[in-house]
Amino acid sequence: MTLAVWAGVMIIGGLGSVARYMVDRAVARRVARSFPFGTLAVNISGAVLLGFVSGLTLSHHAALLAGTAFVGAYTTFSTWMLETQRLTEERQIWPAVTNLVVSVVLGVAAAMLGQWIASLL
């Protein structure tokens, strides 16, 4: 990989992280609940984006920058798992199970939606 690709990954990954923070906070402010709606919104919208990117015919470097750098930094598996574990610690078992099931089911559907949208282009 070239220095330009490395720099692109850093810059675009940084933008993805900032976007994640902004979306998570915006959703969390509107829905003041113990359920992690902000992380759910980020991960579902990220699944749509990644499905869309994977449905496009991109060069290896463009796919790396869009998919891995931006969407990879935007979505968050670790926060999803930590928040689910926190719900179980607080004995909120049904919300924890709901977070797991809804995230997986909607995530797969969202990725398929993104690929379908890309196929229309």
Summarised one tens digit per residue, pLDDT across range 77-115 is 999 999 999 999 999 999 999 999 999 999 999 999 999
Q: What is the pTM of this model?
A: 0.91
Name every residue whose Cβ is closer than 8 Å to that of residue 79 and which is 6 or more positions away in sequence: 36, 39
Q: What is the pLDDT of residue 95?
A: 96
Q: Would the annotation count 84 as a binding residue?
A: no
- State both tokens at 87: 């719900």
Indicate the pLDDT class of residue 45, thresholds 50, 70 and 90.
very high
CB-CB neighbours of 19 under 10 Å: 18
Is residue 34 over pLDDT 90?
no
Nearby residues of 68 by Cβ (< 8 Å), 6 or more positions away: 9
72 in a labelled binding site: yes
pLDDT value at residue 32: 76
